[in-house]
């Protein structure tokens, strides 16, 4: 071995030694900080942190839930430590513990919980995946958006798809609109996938989705027609009013109800004549929604007269 080779090896060893020393120092400092923080914790919080590592799954589950309940009274350091321990508990062997942990991490509102919750979207338990989506919905971080879109498309459980769609009603990430539109427009996908996509698009409220939702009003499946109608109302694009009005005559009660609700979402007097017609629907709940919608236009003569006529018949 020549002199240069020995010199290089010695230099590499020296760097490794320094990095090891730094790592050990950081760990030591974190341990000290952990002890200092713990000494300031409320006695009940200390007990809950211990219970998160208890051999009894019920104890671990109850402790995770308790942190959710106490989220508004926890000190900053207590919440920080709770989140760190809960993130680790997200790997628990019991799915009933993992699902409560996922929801609690969302409730505690710390952004460092986003990556582990995204990972939990792939959990073997559908219930854990559902609660992970709920946790991410609470956190409202767009880093999860593309993963949630994949869940809507690929997850085999309809409940998981639905809770994934709710995420977009809170986060409203417009970057995912094209992907969600593609899911809704793909007739080869299941109705659950397409309905969830429509629900998500309505929550985001981007008018780019208007055309595909109008197209969905002509689908054979009545639940998809209904969901498209209410999503269009949530988006509020005026050009969709005639399309929504066209399904007010649908044979299916749910479609007529959701279309009526969709029209009540508007603040546009063009919906008034359509709502007036729905006051004559045979279904009481539909008539009730039409009344709610017309009450938004107290200064419009047609709406006012229709409401007076409707009330006089009761």
- Predicted local distance difference test score (pLDDT) of residue 17: 35
Helix, strand, coil percent content, the chain, rounded in steps of 5: 75, 0, 25
Phi, psi of 41 (to 5 degrees): -75, 150
Please report whether residue 114 resides in a domain: yes
Q: What is the mean pLDDT of residues 161-183?
A: 96
Please report whether residue 122 resides in a domain: yes
* CA pair distance 211, 239, nearest whole angstrom: 9
Percent of the chain with pLDDT strictly greater than 90:
81
Tokens of 268: 């546009």
- Predicted local distance difference test score (pLDDT) of residue 135: 98
Burial of 308 (0-12, 13-18, 19+ CB in 10 A): exposed
Please report whether residue 59 resides in a domain: yes
The per-residue pLDDT for range 251-302, each reduced to its tens digit, is 999 999 999 999 999 999 999 999 999 999 999 999 999 999 999 998 898 9
Number of independent structural domains in the chain: 1
Please report whether residue 206 resides in a domain: no
Tokens of 181: 């539109």
* CA pair distance 65, 59, nearest whole angstrom: 10
| Helix ranges, 40-125 (H) | 43-51, 57-69, 76-89, 95-108, 114-120
Mean pLDDT lowest for which of 33-42, 167-176, 250-259, 266-275?
A: 33-42
DSSP 282: S
Please report whether residue 61 resides in a domain: yes
- Show the domain range for 43: 38-139
Please report whether residue 248 resides in a domain: no
**In CATH, what number is assigned to the domain containing residue 124?**
1.25.10.10
Tokens of 144: 């999860």
Please report whether residue 78 resides in a domain: yes
- Predicted local distance difference test score (pLDDT) of residue 24: 34
CB-based burial, 236-248: b 16+ in 10 Å, e otherwise: bbeebbebbbebb
Please report whether residue 121 resides in a domain: yes
Q: Is the pLDDT reported for residue 111 higher than 80?
A: yes
- Predicted local distance difference test score (pLDDT) of residue 128: 98
Mean pLDDT lowest for which of 88-92, 130-134, 152-156, 302-306?
A: 302-306
């Amino acid at each position: 071995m020549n002199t240069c080779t020995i010199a290089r090896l010695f230099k590499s060893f020296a760097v490794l030694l320094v990095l090891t020393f730094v790592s050990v120092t950081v760990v030591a400092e974190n341990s000290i900080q952990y002890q200092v923080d713990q000494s300031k914790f409320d006695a009940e919080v200390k007990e809950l942190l211990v219970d998160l590592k208890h051999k009894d799954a019920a104890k671990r589950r109850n402790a995770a839930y308790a942190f959710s309940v106490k989220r508004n009274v926890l000190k900053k350091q207590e919440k920080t430590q709770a989140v760190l321990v809960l993130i680790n508990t997200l790997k628990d062997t019991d799915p009933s513990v993992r699902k409560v942990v996922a929801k609690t991490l969302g409730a505690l509102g710390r952004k460092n919980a986003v990556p582990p919750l995204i990972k939990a979207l792939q959990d073997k338990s559908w219930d854990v995946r559902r609660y992970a989506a709920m946790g991410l919905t609470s956190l409202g971080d767009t880093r999860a958006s593309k993963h949630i879109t994949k869940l809507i498309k690929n997850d085999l459980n309809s409940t998981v798809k639905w809770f994934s769609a709710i995420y977009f009603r809170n986060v409203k990430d417009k970057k995912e609109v094209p992907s969600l539109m593609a899911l809704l427009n793909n007739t080869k996908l299941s109705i659950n996938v397409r309905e969830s996509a429509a629900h998500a698009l309505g929550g985001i409220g981007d008018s780019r989705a208007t055309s595909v939702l109008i197209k969905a009003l002509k689908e054979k499946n009545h639940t998809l027609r209904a969901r498209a109608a209410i999503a269009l109302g949530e988006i509020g694009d005026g050009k969709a009013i005639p399309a929504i009005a066209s399904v007010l005559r649908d044979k299916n009660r749910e479609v007529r109800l959701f279309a009526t609700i969709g029209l009540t979402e508007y603040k546009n007097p063009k919906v008034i004549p359509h709502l007036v017609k729905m006051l004559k629907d045979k279904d009481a709940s539909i008539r009730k929604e039409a009344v709610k919608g017309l009450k938004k236009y107290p200064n419009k003569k047609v709406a006012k007269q229709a409401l007076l006529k409707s009330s006089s018949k009761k």
